[in-house]
Amino acid sequence: MSTCCICGDTFEARHSYGLCSRCFTRDAARELDRLETATYKAQKQGLAATLTLTQLLSVASDFKGLCAFCQEYTYSIIEMVNIDKGLVYDNVVPSCKACSHHKRYGFDVARERVRWYLSSDRVQRDTPQNEEDHHG
């Protein structure tokens, strides 16, 4: 017997998910996979990892399934706001991959990459000097 991680009912498991037939949906299964992956990574780093599926669904719902940072794109990552606190209910928000990357590495890295790209020999070599060079 297994216990559903959403409603708490016990059920006979015929699959590896901890969801009963009433609570099982593709969306719930996807979120459970996302949570299990995040939990594994947090535990591997020695961090607290007590976030439950119900809590994750609540947080995602609070942001209507969108990234908490940009409010533009559907979230794909459970972002720990303060890494030292771990994967716990009062420390997570949904994030898209781009915002998660910028949170980790800062937007300055991206700006520097663009600045380097625009200052490289390629730009100076391939930039037309006047209109004739461009159409000639």
Span 125-135, pLDDT tens digits: 555 666 555 55
Span 64-114, pLDDT tens digits: 999 999 999 999 999 999 999 999 999 999 999 999 998 888 888 878 888
Domains defined along the chain, listed by start: 2-135 (3.30.40)
Helices (H) and strands (E) in the chain, counts: 6, 4
pLDDT of residue 121: 66
- Residues 85 and 91: their CA atoms lie apart, in Å, by 7
- Residues 82 and 72: their CA atoms lie apart, in Å, by 22
88 and 78 Cβ atoms separated by less than 8 Å: no
pLDDT of residue 127: 57
End-to-end CA, the chain: 77
Structure-token match 């000639």, residue found: 136
38 and 26 Cβ atoms separated by less than 8 Å: no
Own/partner pairs for 81-88, CB < 8 Å, 24+ apart? 83/47, 84/47, 85/47, 85/48, 86/42, 86/47, 86/48, 86/49, 86/50, 87/38, 87/39, 87/42, 87/47, 87/48, 87/49, 87/50, 87/51, 88/48, 88/49, 88/50, 88/51
**What is the band of 118 on the pLDDT scale with cuts at 50, 70, 90?**
confident
Q: What is the pTM of this model?
A: 0.73
Structure-token match 């969306």, residue found: 27
**What is the band of 56 on the pLDDT scale with cuts at 50, 70, 90?**
very high
pLDDT of residue 89: 96
